[in-house]
Amino acid sequence: MSIRLASTDEDIAACHGVMRELRPHLDAKAFFTRVRRQQQSGYQLAMLEAAGRVVCVAGYRLGENLAWGRFLYVDDLVTLADARSVGHGRRMLDWLRGQARQAGCQQLHMDSGVQRREAHRFYLREGLCHTSLHFAQSLQD
């Protein structure tokens, strides 16, 4: 088992099958295009490989604001359905915490869709806390 950043075109393509479980609206081309564009502003895509395949991915970025100070924000975190409950998500979250500490972050943050109850149980077990409500509004007619 290893975790590393997806840096090559092949790495990013290998992550799509996992990310599709969280972001089904993105086909392979749209996924690749968005990852590459977001990387230009600091987005990183981490991949966990086990038994010769990518089973867990996490997209994240570093930032700083008045509310949190320096932070690592997890945009995306997902494990393949057939690879859950064996510790891959925990390993990835531990890796992300390590990345945050190395970058001098005081906090790790993420949002999670209200429908993802199983994920919420996992996050709470892993020591993350509910700290706010996220509000959004579509600006498309």
Q: Please give the domain boundaries of the chain with CATH numbers for all domains.
A: 2-125 (3.40.630.30)
First to last CA, the chain: 45
Query: Per-residue pLDDT for 22 more than 90?
Result: yes
| In the predicted structure, residue 141 carries a pLDDT above the cut 90 | no
Q: Sorting pLDDT into bands at 50, 70 and 90, what band is 1?
A: confident
Q: What is the mean pLDDT of residues 110-138?
A: 91
The two most distant CA atoms of the chain are separated, in Å, by 45
Q: What is the pLDDT of residues 66-120, one digit of tens each?
A: 999 999 999 999 999 999 999 999 999 999 999 999 999 999 999 998 889 999 9
Pairing of strands 44-50, 53-65: antiparallel
The torsion of the CA quartet 6, 9, 14, 17, rounded to 10 degrees, works out to: 100
Question: Residue 41 has what pLDDT?
Answer: 97
Would the pLDDT of 133 be above 90?
no
CB 80 within 8 A of CB 56: yes
Hey, is 131 helix, strand or coil? coil
The two tokens of residue 80 are 């393949």
| Torsion sign (Cα): 58, 114, 101, 93 | negative
The model's pTM: 0.93
Q: Which pLDDT score is estimated for 58?
A: 98
Mean pLDDT of the chain: 95
